[in-house]
Amino acid sequence: MPGNTHLQPKPAAKPQGRPPRPVKHSDFSEEYVGHVASITLVNGTVIRGMLIESRKFWVKIIVDGRAHYINKAHVVEVTLG
Q: Is residue 18 part of a domain?
A: no
What's the confidence (pLDDT) of residue 1? 55
User: Which residues pair with residue 41 across a beta bridge?
Assistant: 75
**Rounded to whole angstroms, how far apart are CA atoms 29 and 78?**
9
Q: Specify if 47 maps to a domain.
A: yes
Count of domains forming the chain: 1
Residue 35 in domain:
yes
pLDDT tens for the chain, residues 1 to 81: 566 667 777 777 766 777 777 666 677 777 888 999 999 999 999 999 999 998 889 999 999 999 999 999 999 999 998
CATH of the domain at 37: 2.30.30.100
Q: Whole-model pTM?
A: 0.65
In a domain, 71, yes or no: yes
Residue 73 within a domain: yes
Q: Is residue 61 part of a domain?
A: yes
Whether residue 4 is contained in a domain is answered as no
At 49 the pLDDT is: 97
In a domain, 23, yes or no: no
Q: Report the pLDDT value the prediction gives residue 31, as an integer from 0 to 100.
A: 81
